[in-house]
Structure 1
Amino acid sequence: MPSPKKQRQLITARYGRADLNDYTAAGHLLWDTLVNANLTPRIDETSAGRAIAIDLPDSTTLWCTEDADVSHLPSDHEAWSVIHFHNPTDSGDYLQVYLGPGDLSCEADTAACVSTVAAWIANWTAVGAVAQHNTYLTLSKTAAPRETIRAAWHISWGHPGFDPTNPTTPTEQHTATVIEQSADLPGRRGACLACPWEGPIRRDHNTAVEDGLDHTHPGWRSLPAIPQGKSGKNAHLLRAYLDAVYPTGWFETGGPLKVYTSVANDRHEPGKAPGGGYLVKVYRSTYTPNPKHQQQALL
């Protein structure tokens, strides 16, 4: 690959005319601003108009252009468009990361574009619930399209570590939570607030919670479930039973409590167990079949 300096010169070299090679193009401003933001651009000579590309660690690519052109004069600039190609072999599989409004100066549009790209890359490459949620908060304040923000991973509303405005901090002990995308078909993952662990992508909320609990509290599946919590004179008896059958210190470390529910697919509830862990709902039907007729019982 040519040196960065020679790469930058390709922005105007597409015309092949010496008298056009000395001016400052809009693409030069974008290139320099990307470099100043500690991003590494290159010129994609295979693209129409020689797009400014940014290669990501997962072998996917961002393309930055304006109507397939980066060599136009700043005074002729309208709006940058940045596209992320999810699949390098399929040009139709992409996400719009940035699209300028069309009424900004070249300098203002370039600044908005680069700040959005930097925030999006930070979220795209972040690992773990804390890092993803905190970079999501930054991305949500940029000019990224609504669907791009909705596709970014962040801690699910109401789950451990969630804060809609302030960055979250890691916990000292492994704590289960759920991260999600807010797109039309949201993906969910079990995650941990103390380490970068993330579970597989799930469509189902409860399965993501259970993945997280498998990571933070292995063995929870073998513990007994109890009827939904009772208050009053029997509350101390119920707690004594829990202390007897659940491991010592289980709830102090945010361990889940399993309770029976008559509602199929009842959602697990964060923060409802003693100690602030998940209340895990175990379905048990209340249906009792009628006794068979005595003659039927003899058959």
Structure 2
Amino acid sequence: MTTLADLRELIAARTDHKSDPDRPAAGYLLWDTLIAAGITPSINLSSAGRAISIDLPDGTSIWVTEQADVSHHPDDHEAWTALHHYDPADPLGPYHLIYEGPRNLGHTADTAACVDAISAWITAHTAVGALARHNAYVALPKGVPRDARRASWMIGYAKPGFNGRHPTTPTTRHTPTHLDRHLNTHTERRGACLACNWEGPARRHQNAAIEDALDHTHPGWRDLPTLPQSVGGRNATLLRAYRDATFPPGWFDTGGPLKVWTTTANDWHEHSKAPGGGYLIKVHRPAPAPAAHQQQTLL
């Protein structure tokens, strides 16, 4: 494990100063503040004291510097920059800016704000489950840039459990929802549950994520019949009777989904539209082609 003494040695070697524990450097306070926040820093050996690294459990890494340097005097400090590199072996690869100081805080205040942003980002990045991820997203400080916020998992806008400003609370029964995150090139979704930490695989389309969530909360839903969206008159009474006879008892009381036919390809599933408040699942069935009519010729 690297230590502050190791950082001092690298800074001394980089700047041609003798190793002096009392020699001030902006990186010393940053290092100690990270340790105090329960974050284990390390040294980016490729830059010999010019960056402090934080290695995350998924193999990604956060680098913190000021213009590729941590050896400057605190009085000369302007602002820390913290980058989350998704491939630490490729500094030019994908990353997100998670903190950039405003240059008017001073060394001590900027270091505290930087570490707060890093701590909140690590919590959001390593959280598991819809509630933990969404509540960590809501708690991200204002210093985290918009693109980084969008890259953090959150409950999809207006989906079950969504609250854009306040923490959400668990439900008493397994309830399907889905998480979103917006990357530079695409948006990812994954099914999730509001009562436990279950999560599905990353998907491109929200319908697939919702269906994964229903596999968790309401197993067997795929085997239930698909019904017309709406019928009138006596047919409506017959349809309800058929539904009640074929669906498990209490299915809709638990928020179970209802599958209905649609002629629109990739029609979005709708929550709260099924009886009992569950998902209305749209199953695509193309409209029948009109019958071909041959032109009659009078002879």
> How does the TM-score come out when normalised to structure 1?
0.89
Change in 2 beyond 3 A, CA 1:87/1:5: closer
Q: How does 1:4-15 map to 2 (within 5 A)?
A: 4-10=3-9, 12-14=11-13, 15=15
Q: CA deviation at 1:115?
A: 0.9
- Does the 8 Å contact 2:180/2:188 carry over to 1? yes
Q: How does 1:32-71 map to 2 (within 5 A)?
A: 32-71=32-71
CA distance in 2, matches of 1:7, 1:138: 33
Change in 2 beyond 3 A, CA 1:146/1:11: farther
For residues 259-278 of structure 1, give each alpha carbon's deviation from its aligned partner in whole angstroms, at most 9, with x where no partner exists: 11121211000111112111
Aligned residue for 1:273, secondary structure, equals: coil
CA distance in 2, matches of 1:242, 1:10: 74
CA distance in 2, matches of 1:133, 1:99: 23
For residues 106-136 of structure 1, give each alpha carbon's deviation from its aligned partner in whole angstroms, at most 9, with x where no partner exists: 1221121111101100010001111100000
User: Which residue matches 1:167?
Assistant: 167
Change in 2 beyond 3 A, CA 1:283/1:75: same
Change in 2 beyond 3 A, CA 1:271/1:21: same
Q: Structure 2 stretches of 5 or more lacking a match?
A: 295-299
For residues 194-231 of structure 1, give each alpha carbon's deviation from its aligned partner in whole angstroms, at most 9, with x where no partner exists: 22221111111111111111121121111111111457
- Does the 8 Å contact 2:179/2:190 carry over to 1? yes
CA distance in 2, matches of 1:60, 1:218: 35
User: Which residue matches 1:83?
Assistant: 83
CA distance in 2, matches of 1:101, 1:11: 28
CA distance in 2, matches of 1:262, 1:41: 55
Q: CA deviation at 1:149?
A: 0.6
CA distance in 1, matches of 2:278, 2:47: 51
Q: Structure 1 stretches of 5 or more lacking a match?
A: 294-299
User: Which residue matches 1:284?
Assistant: 285
Aligned residue for 2:202, secondary structure, equals: coil
> How does the TM-score come out when normalised to structure 2?
0.89
Aligned residue for 1:218, secondary structure, equals: coil
User: Which residue matches 2:297?
Assistant: none
Aligned residue for 2:152, secondary structure, equals: coil
User: Which residue matches 1:23?
Assistant: 23
CA distance in 1, matches of 2:83, 2:114: 11
What is the aligned residue count? Answer: 293
Q: CA deviation at 1:36?
A: 1.7
Change in 2 beyond 3 A, CA 1:274/1:247: same
Aligned residue for 2:47, secondary structure, equals: coil
CA distance in 1, matches of 2:223, 2:235: 25
Identity of aligned residues (%): 54
Change in 2 beyond 3 A, CA 1:167/1:19: closer
